[in-house]
Every structure is written in C-alpha cells, then in structure tokens.
Amino acid sequence: MTTQTPRVVDISHHNIVKDFGLVAAAGIWAVIHKATQGRAYRDPDYAPRRKAATNVGLLWGAYHFNTGDAVDLQVENFIKTAQPDDRTLMVLDFEDNRPSNMGPQQAVDFLRQLEARLGRPGAVYSGNRLKESLASLGPQDRAYVTSHRLWLCQYGPTPRLPMGFEKWWLWQYTGDGIGPLPHNVPGIVAGNGGIDLNAFEGTRDELAASWA
C-alpha cells in the first residue's frame, strides 16, 4: 500500500486527544478542529483544545460542517464560535449531509459572507460534493469557488480534483482507516481504525505562509 507523510490532522469532539505534544513530535504541523454545524451547534472541545494545540506550536484552524440552514445564521455561528484571529484557518466543510444538505449556491453565499466578515478568503473542504455540483453553478460563481484553497477529501492513492481546480492545497488521504498509510499519529486515540490525516506538498514555512 502507498504511504503519505501526514502534516495536518483534523478532529472533533468525537476524537480523544491525549497529548498534543506527542502529535507535534510525530511531525504534525497543524490542527483543524470542528467548531460548528448549522445554525446553532458548537463543538464543546474546540476552545480548550485550541489553547493546548497552539501552546505546543501547532497551527490552528476551524471548520464549519454544512447544513441547509439559512446561510447568514451559519456564518454567524461559525465566526462567533471559532473566534478567529488573523492566523486562524477558516474552512467550509462542504460534504454530504443527507439529512440537511447545503446546496452549491448556498456554499457560494457562505464563502462570500465569510470572506466579507473576515476580510480574507476562507478555504473549502470537499470531495464528491464539489465534483458533482460545480457544474450547476454559473461561470462567475464557479470561478469564485475554484479560486479558493481546496482541502480535498479523496481516500485513495491518487487525488482527483473537481473541475476547475488546478491543484489541491491539503489532501485528506485517509479517514476511518481507509486509504493510504499511515492512519494514526501518537497522541490521538483512533476511532474506527484511524483518524483523519492530511498531506501537504511543501515545507512547514510554506504551510504557515498559506495558512490564513
């Protein structure tokens, strides 16, 4: 089986974190943590883990899990909970959420509102949802989405980009023990056979420069 070098881990309250110091010592450079979902949900572990991770020198990011709720309420929940400073990565998690999917036009609106509030672009996490829905957007909105940093979800040996993207920024190559090795890092307890790990093509300084 092919292997990757994980540089970023993404987690939520579903993961058990034992020691961020061990995570950093294993070669991980950054953590992206779930902050919110929809209009009201807030991950209870987001704030305390932020301090623990940044104290050992890890870059910090937040992601919002999409729903079909009103976009302005989702953006408000995300920003209020994530409390971003100018070094906090802010990501829209645009993946399948069948009980309440965010539509592609809602995703565009979310990214535009987030950028207006932050004064800088966010990033977008997706795999099949973007591949299946980008064509439904008009040329201007499609170009706007594809101008963002892509955190690609693709559990397999070869990343396959959605239309319009020339490269991935982060590649989530494994989750739940599926995809190339490794599936775990020290300091975080695995669930379902493995945790979410992500590759980055570049140096630590290059990741930091592109982070927020």
Q: Which tens digits make up the pLDDT trace of 162-208?
A: 999 999 999 999 999 999 999 999 999 976 789 999 999 999 999 99
Minimal CA–CA distance to 4: which of 166, 118, 164, 154?
Answer: 154
User: Which has more pLDDT, 1 or 158?
Assistant: 158
Q: What is the pLDDT of residue 190?
A: 79
Question: Could you give all domains of the chain from N- to C-terminal order, each with its CATH number?
Answer: 8-210 (3.20.20.80)
Q: What is the pLDDT of residue 1?
A: 61
Give the contacts of 142 (CB within 8 A, at least 6 positions apart): 134, 135, 164
